[in-house]
Structure 1
Amino acid sequence: MRHEEFITTLNECASFCNYCADACLNEDDINMMVSCIRNDRICAEICSSLSKILSIDVPTKQITAFVEYCKTVCERCAEECASHEAQHCKNCAAACKKCVDACSKFLFNN
């Protein structure tokens, strides 16, 4: 499958974001986690959507802006998650950073 590695990274990021958002709901101070939850949910949706688009082999030029947006969303989510001490947030930040790198690689190569 074309873009298989990128699709895998996007799906992994979406999974970590969904897990993090759910785990944030169990934190003692949920009000402190609202921004993290929102960023997680947005990032998961964007990564999942881009993964689906890539799997139907859309011409690269038609999705460049979406990949750039995905990169921005992942950067924002990584930054937010990195600001929290919870392990699920740290894991999510790492997955988002990996996705940022994958987006950058895609944009550089296409």
Structure 2
Amino acid sequence: MSLKQSCIDACLKCATDCEFCLDAMIGKESDNDCPHCCRECVDICLYTAQALARNSKYSSQISQLCAEICTWCAEQCEAHEHYHCQACAASCRKCAAECKEIVSV
């Protein structure tokens, strides 16, 4: 699998896991930015996957922003013990790592 395809896959998985987390956390108390970070993460992950798929000339910059938002979201969701938060955080960490690989190319 190519580096680009691996990043696209990680972005799509992250967006899905963030949607699950967002849905599960709506209406629940949170002492940090979860679930608000999930909304930001979904949007940037989908946009990054689209940009990579179309070979956008801004793929590196978009991937850098995606890595930053995913790292922030992972930090927020990791603070919660819920399964959906932990799964979201793991996907965010994976996506951030994949996006950093795109940036370094």
> TM-score with structure 2 length normalisation?
0.90
Residue 97 of structure 2: aligned partner: 101
Q: Could you tell me the percent identity over the aligned residues?
A: 30
Residue aligned with 1:31, SS? coil
| Distance in 2 between residues matched to 1:33 and 1:88, nearest whole Å | 16
Structure 1 runs (4+) deviating above 3 angstroms are none
3-state SS of 1:36 partner: coil
TM-align CA RMSD:
1.8
SS of 1:35's equivalent in the other structure is coil
Q: How many residues align?
A: 104
Letter in 1 for 2:9: T
Contact preservation (8 Å) 1:24, 1:33: no
The alpha-carbon deviation at position 6 of structure 1 amounts to 1.0
1:44 is displaced (CA, Å) by 0.6
Once residues 75 and 26 of structure 2 are traced to their aligned partners in structure 1, the CA distance between those partners, rounded to angstroms, is 19
Structure number, greater radius of gyration: 1
Which runs of no fewer than 5 residues in structure 1 stay unpaired?
A: none
Residue equivalent to 1:56:
54
Cα deviation per residue 1:23-70 (whole Å; 9 max; x = unaligned)?
A: 1126xxx232672111001001000011011111223xx222211111
Contact 1:82–1:93, Cα closer than 8 Å, also in 2? yes
Name 2:73's counterpart in structure 1: 77
